[in-house]
Structure 1
């Protein structure tokens, strides 16, 4: 007997149109449509899919990358911008949930960016908006630190969905915060490659093994299914970088390619796996399988000592300034003007209906 849903999920193992937000949005819409035609109910995209992952920060010194940062900032998008609205509209048309990684612009600054993710429901509403807590290694040259506002698990008809971005899946407290909200599907998003060494200086960081280990460990501890949604480096991305510096070819070609895959509540692989080929991977999640393992280890239930350990999470959205303006009224002699206080229905560029 099934008490919980059986869900078909998809992960886009895809490359963006490198540093082109408009073309990448169009590609995302096409992928959502394709996944829905294959009966997927949830589609996950990689880290910073729009407009790309800033891998150049690992290749060259910051002093040489100012123009790339300016272009990246220009091609990044607002959480309440038209690009998210287009993708949300497609989610509604296709009737699927969408998890989307993107580089987010700030309304308070022309140069402040976050590594962000939104979860969009099957009616086109943004139901969670998360900013990566800590940019990892060279990402600090591009993105600002996020906050805890998006550390939420969303209860949906296809399961209780949570997610973390890349290295956040190494943070046991962030993971525990999601486990403690009854997470059943955990989405982890990753870049196409993550260079840390030149081939001549020894082995590079094996992100495929690391991602599989982290995803499997989280699913085993949470007793939840996992979607590992990783990016893909296509010829366009490689050619763009190599044209700028031919010596970068050895690093790009010598770095392990990320893999898109799925794991079950035991941490074992399930469904498709993609690495060398671009495409959409699929899996079926029987959420009933999340229940039995809780008898063995329930780290947010009986298999813990809440009298010994405690965790407090601040989920307040952090702002650069708090305004304390007095209420403003329009002139009373203007018969056409509405009366009363002018209300601000956005919060740092996020519509007021998005959980903060």
Structure 2
């Protein structure tokens, strides 16, 4: 398959309402499939939410009871992988017949992770990536991923892979994904700054891969009445304004960026462009200098407790 139709969905979570969010996910993925999409990418923390403007009661050396309850409420919106909620996403991918990359808040024990889940068009979970470096206050509510989550699933469309939000500023992570042969670099994010577009163009140019960057468009009105972000209570306030885009391996903007509205962006992605691009730049091939620079990637699971002996 040479030409793949890719789509990025720009939409916001129904915050603290997992059931409505799942229905919205199903509707949006169905709509993307109707537009011919074969690969569909959704934003960071779409399932579980990104409660922008909450501080979870944190001050240096202090935590509040109200913040602990915000954390409990947020934890209730997270999903277990594997688990029934992950299976629901599987059904959505299979029903639409698309390869699906969706940002979720995953629970593992009592710890939450910001994650990307990868599904093939039959609904099989083929990869899970946990954000290896949460940014700023995110570290209060999310744990760290390890090397087991640097995934690059091989599919009938090509090699998928990607990173979440500011992980894209980790050059070592990007290089590891290039070495794994990523062709469709899937980004789930909530970064709505103007400078995000040149960041995505840089990734596409550097990796000579297609970049599909899906952003949330999220307003105060997408949250419940008792959601109290620092930005205020006006339901029209835009907390995350979007910026989704699709970029070619030579840095050309194929779709977007779109701001200030929900949207589904699609583009035809000709895989021959990847090889054409690597003609003069292959950072893990002829443009590398392993005699000078090497990267060691630890893919060993990082567990706090190991049991040795009989079961």
> Which 5+ residue runs of structure 1 have no aligned equivalent?
194-206, 328-356
The correspondence of residues 74-93 of structure 1 with structure 2, limited to 5 A, is: 74-93=76-95
Residue 52 of structure 1 pairs with residue 49 of structure 2: yes
Once the two structures are TM-superposed, the CA of residue 210 in structure 1 deviates from its matched residue by: 3.0
CA distance 1:323–1:37, change in 2 (3 Å) = same
Once the two structures are TM-superposed, the CA of residue 239 in structure 1 deviates from its matched residue by: 6.3
Residue 5 of structure 1 pairs with residue 7 of structure 2: no
Q: Would the aligned equivalents of 1:91 and 1:123 in 2 still touch at CA under 8 Å?
A: yes
Partners of 1:299 and 1:65 in 2: CA distance: 45
Aligned partner of 1:221 in structure 2 is 206
The correspondence of residues 1-356 of structure 1 with structure 2, limited to 5 A, is: 5-57=2-54, 61=58, 63=64, 64-106=66-108, 109-110=109-110, 112-191=111-190, 207-237=192-222, 240=225, 244=228, 248=232, 253=237, 257-327=241-311
Q: Deviations over 1:258-286 (max 9, x none)?
A: 31111111222102443211131111111
CA distance 1:220–1:317, change in 2 (3 Å) = same
CA distance 1:240–1:311, change in 2 (3 Å) = farther
More strand, by proportion: 2
Partners of 1:323 and 1:25 in 2: CA distance: 38
CA distance 1:59–1:67, change in 2 (3 Å) = closer
The size of the alignment, in residue pairs, is 305
Partners of 1:146 and 1:103 in 2: CA distance: 12
Q: Would the aligned equivalents of 1:57 and 1:139 in 2 still touch at CA under 8 Å?
A: no
CA distance 1:83–1:6, change in 2 (3 Å) = same
Partners of 1:254 and 1:101 in 2: CA distance: 20
Q: Deviations over 1:78-123 (max 9, x none)?
A: 11121110110221222110101111111xx33x111111101111
Q: Would the aligned equivalents of 1:50 and 1:103 in 2 still touch at CA under 8 Å?
A: yes
Partners of 2:198 and 2:225 in 1: CA distance: 31
> Which 5+ residue runs of structure 2 have no aligned equivalent?
none
Aligned partner of 1:347 in structure 2 is none
CA distance 1:40–1:314, change in 2 (3 Å) = same
More helix, by proportion: 1
What secondary structure, in the 3-state scheme, does the structure 2 residue paired with 1:208 have?
Answer: coil
CA distance 1:172–1:283, change in 2 (3 Å) = same
Q: Would the aligned equivalents of 1:18 and 1:236 in 2 still touch at CA under 8 Å?
A: no
Larger radius of gyration: 1
What secondary structure, in the 3-state scheme, does the structure 2 residue paired with 1:304 have?
Answer: coil
RMSD: 2.2
Q: Would the aligned equivalents of 1:165 and 1:190 in 2 still touch at CA under 8 Å?
A: yes
CA distance 1:157–1:124, change in 2 (3 Å) = same
Aligned partner of 1:197 in structure 2 is none
Q: Deviations over 1:199-228 (max 9, x none)?
A: xxxxxxxx4223212211110001111101
